[in-house]
A = this chain, B = another copy of it.
Amino acid sequence: MEKIITLSSDFGKQTQGIGNMEGVIYGINPHTRVIHLMHGIPAFDLMAAARTMETVYHMPVGFHVCVVDPDVGTTRKGVIIKVKRGDYLIGPDNGCLMTAPRLLGGIERVVEITNEKFMIRPVSPIFHGRHIFAPAAAHLSRGESMDSFGKELNPAELVSAPYGEAVLAEKKIHAEIIHVHHFGSLHFNILHSVWESAGFEPGKKVRLTWKQGKGVLPVTNTFGEVAQGQPLIMKDDYQRIEAAVNQGSFAQKYGLGVGDKITIEGL
């Protein structure tokens, strides 16, 4: 069975960097299956990157590379994070890898990538995806020990995740928008379990309050429970909560975006 290597980036389809990374991997280990998890992460958007990496819990156990890397070539570290489920997360130490472990059993070990033996040389100071991270995934997938890549780091030394977890306090959830979907839905840093604790069940209504406005939304199971063009809020498809407009864009309708803070309370 081929090993799974997933690639995520903010490259869109506007760069050959994606194909280059796949080529480099294949050159090192042809017995892999490269899956392009997501290359439409908005440029330099660590929050969206972290949110994408959360979804690797839907993938088979494998080697997951994230290249959203605004500080490439500076002193920021490159890291390999092994999680308890058995996956390896590979990328820059800028927080983009730090949310996925919450859904994969937690961090087991971390090493810094410094051994040039496993890099494509000369190492480009501006494209570590091709020269360091994709090769690291390929070498790991061949059975190379993570300790060969560099010294162990204490997980507490790593740059923290770009978002925390929403909390329920005095029957209100204090949340943050962590992603705006292609179709314009907003996704919050609210786990399904926190939503359930708040008792916001389908059939009820909730009030959302943000800096410049507020709105009342029905809690539903899916989009089609409201008329076309109407808003709703529900569990999304990757363990978090989503506000959407049926066949429309919630983000456009309400002028909200990544990083905005929202308070949600029952009615």
Contact = CB atoms under 8 A, between A and B. Distances in A.
Contact of A13 (B20, B23, B39): B39
Contacts of A17: 237
Interface residues of A, number: 58
Contacts of A33: 26, 30
Contacts of A181: 14-15
A19 B38 contact: yes
B16 A52 contact: yes
A73 B234 CA distance: 12
Interface string A180-214: 01110000000000000000000000000000000
Interface in A46-81: 52, 55, 58-60, 70-74
A252 interface: no
B234 A126 contact: yes
A6 interface: yes
A36 interface: yes
B19 A73 contact: no
Looking at A16, A36, A72, A236, the one whose CB has the most chain B CB atoms below 10 A away is A16
A8 interface: yes
Contact of A8 (B16, B59, B237): B16
Interface string A4-25: 1010100111111111101110
Contacts of A73: 221-225
A222 B38 contact: no
A130 interface: yes
14 contacts: A11-B182, A13-B40, A14-B182, A19-B38, A19-B55, A20-B55, A22-B36, A23-B60, A27-B60, A43-B182, A71-B224, A126-B222, A127-B237, A130-B237
